[in-house]
C-alpha cells in the first residue's frame, strides 16, 4: 500500500534485534524512510531458540516473514510438562490452539529468525558498528550521535536497544531498576542423533522440579534447543568452562533424555546469564523519541512473549505513524497508549509465572502439580486466549 503522506519522513531505529528489524519493516511498509543503527560487529544471533506463538506468527505474516520462519523452524505439535522424574503433569492444548488461531506456534533458532527479517531490509539501510552515544531532540527533528563520529538526523527516533537501553536512560522519566528474577538460565543447542532421541512431531517438553526446570524443543534443521532455569543467588552464574558440568550436576537423576542432551552439547556454545526484567513504565514516549520491545517493557521469558510483544509494538507504531497528520509526538503517545496496558499485563503475568514454576516449597510444588493434572485443556486454552488471540 502506498503512503504518500509519509514521503520524505525519516526514522532512526537504534538496535537491530527482533524488535528493531520488525519496526524497520513495518515503518517501510507505511512509507517511511528507515535507517537502523546497531552496535554489534555482525548480526550473528544468539545461540538459542525462540518460541513464536500464534500472535507472533500473525505479526510475522504482516511483516511478510512468516513463510521463511515456517521453512526454517519447527511447528509445536506437542508441548508436555513433566515433573522432574518424568511423571506427566499436563499436555498443553497446542492442536486446539492451532485450530482456533489458524496457525501452530513455531520454534526457531534466533539467528534464523533474524535472518528471515533481515531479508526485507535493504543492506544500505542497516548500519553495523554504530554504538549510540547520545541523542538530542529539537522542535522539528531528533539527532543521534554515534561512537564512530557519525551524526544522523530524522523525524523520529525509536529505541529498540534492549534491556540496557541507552535511549531509555536519556528519557526524562525514571527508567526503573533491574529486577532479578531469582534464577540463572543456561541455554544450549545440540544436534543429538535422531536415532537416540527425536521430537519428530515438533515441539518438546519441560520438566519441573524444586527450584529448577529444564526444557527441550526441536527448532528445525535437525537441531534441538534446551534451557535450564536454576534458582540461585544473583551473580553466581558459572564460567563458560564450567557450564556443562554445572548443568549435568544440577539435573543428575532427572528424566531421560536430559542428561544425554546436556552431555551432547558443545560446552563452547552453552550460554549462561542471570535473568532480569524491569517494573512496567507509565510511559515510554517523549516528543519525537519512543521505545519498543525490551527497551520499553523487558519481561521474564516464562510466557515466551518477548519477541512477540516487540513485533506487536512494531506494527502498532507503524499504524500510528501512518496516519494523515503532522503531529508526530501525538502519534507516538497514541502508540504508547495503545500498547502499554497489554505489555504491562504480560510483564506481570510473566513474573507471576516465574514464581510458580520455580517453587521450592514441597507443599507448594504438590499443590501446583495437582492443579496441573486436574485442569482440563479447554480451561488452559481459555486462560491463554487474551495472550495468544491478540490481533496486531
- Over pLDDT 70: what percentage of the chain? 95
Residue 298 to residue 324: CA distance in whole angstroms: 31
The predicted structure's pLDDT at residue 280: 95
CA distances from 382 to 155, 385, 386, 387 (A): 42, 5, 8, 10
Task: Write out pLDDT tens, residues 38-89.
Answer: 999 998 877 789 999 999 999 999 999 999 999 999 999 999 999 999 999 9
Give me the half-sphere count of Cα atoms (radius 13 Å) on the Cβ side of residue 147. 11
- Which cell goes with 382? 481459555
pLDDT in tens, 150-173: 999 999 999 999 999 999 999 998
Give me 277's grid cell: 526484567
Rounded CA separation 201/27 (Å): 37
pLDDT (tens digit, 9 = 90+) per residue, 84-93?
999 999 999 9
- Written as nine digits, the cell of 95 is 492442536
Instruction: Please say if the pLDDT value at position 195 is more than 60.
Output: no
The C-alpha cell at 90 is 499436563
Which tens digit of pLDDT belongs to each residue from 262-317?
999 999 999 999 999 999 999 999 999 999 999 999 999 999 999 999 999 999 99
Span 184-199, average pLDDT: 77
Separation of alpha carbons 45 and 16, rounded Å: 10
pLDDT digits (tens, 9 = 90+) for 13-28: 999 999 999 999 999 9
Q: Which of 213, 262, 212 is nearest to 242 (CA)?
A: 262
Amino acid at each position: 500500500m502506498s503512503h504518500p503522506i509519509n514521503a520524505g519522513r525519516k526514522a532512526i531505529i537504534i538496535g537491530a534485534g527482533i524488535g528493531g528489524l520488525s519496526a524497520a519493516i513495518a515503518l517501510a511498509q507505511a512509507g517511511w524512510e528507515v535507517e537502523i543503527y546497531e552496535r554489534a560487529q555482525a548480526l550473528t544471533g544468539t545461540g538459542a531458540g525462540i518460541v513464536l506463538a500464534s500472535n507472533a506468527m500473525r505479526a510475522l505474516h504482516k511483516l511478510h516473514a512468516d513463510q521463511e520462519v515456517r521453512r526454517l523452524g519447527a511447528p509445536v505439535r506437542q508441548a508436555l510438562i513433566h515433573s522432574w522424574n518424568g511423571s506427566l503433569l499436563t499436555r498443553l492444548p497446542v492442536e486446539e490452539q492451532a485450530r482456533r488461531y489458524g496457525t501452530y506456534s513455531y520454534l526457531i533458532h534466533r539467528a534464523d529468525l533474524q535472518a528471515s527479517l533481515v531479508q526485507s531490509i535493504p543492506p544500505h539501510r542497516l548500519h553495523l558498528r554504530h554504538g549510540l552515544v547520545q541523542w538530542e531532540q529539537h522542535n522539528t527533528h531528533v539527532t543521534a550521535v554515534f561512537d564512530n563520529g557519525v551524526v544522523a538526523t530524522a523525524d523520529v527516533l525509536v529505541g529498540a536497544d534492549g534491556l540496557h537501553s541507552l535511549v531509555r536512560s536519556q528519557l526524562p522519566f525514571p527508567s526503573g531498576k533491574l529486577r532479578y528474577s531469582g534464577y540463572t538460565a543456561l541455554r544450549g543447542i545440540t544436534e543429538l542423533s535422531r536415532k537416540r532421541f527425536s521430537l519428530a512431531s515438533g515441539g518438546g517438553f519441560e520438566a519441573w522440579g524444586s527450584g529448577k526446570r529444564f526444557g527441550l524443543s526441536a527448532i528445525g534443521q535437525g537441531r534441538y534447543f534446551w534451557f535450564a532455569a536454576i534458582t540461585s543467588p544473583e551473580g553466581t552464574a558459572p564460567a563458560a568452562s564450567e557450564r556443562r558440568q554445572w548443568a549435568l550436576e544440577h539435573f543428575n537423576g532427572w528424566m531421560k533424555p536430559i542428561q544425554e542432551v546436556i552431555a551432547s552439547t558443545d560446552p563452547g556454545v552453552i550460554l549462561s546469564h542471570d535473568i532480569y526484567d524491569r517494573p512496567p513504565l507509565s510511559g515510554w514516549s517523549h516528543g519525537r523519541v519512543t521505545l519498543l520491545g525490551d527497551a520499553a517493557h523487558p519481561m521474564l521469558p516464562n510466557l515466551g512473549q518477548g519477541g512477540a510483544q516487540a513485533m506487536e509494538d512494531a506494527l502498532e507504531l507503524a499504524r500510528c505513524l501512518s496516519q494523515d497528520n503532522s503531529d508526530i509526538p501525538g502519534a507516538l503517545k497514541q502508540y504508547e497508549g495503545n500498547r502499554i496496558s497489554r505489555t504491562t499485563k504480560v510483564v506481570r503475568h510473566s513474573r507471576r509465572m516465574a514464581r510458580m514454576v520455580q517453587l521450592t516449597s514441597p507443599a507448594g510444588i504438590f499443590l501446583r502439580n495437582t492443579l496441573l493434572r486436574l485442569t482440563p485443556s479447554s480451561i488452559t486454552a481459555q486462560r491463554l486466549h487474551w495472550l495468544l488471540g491478540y490481533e496486531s
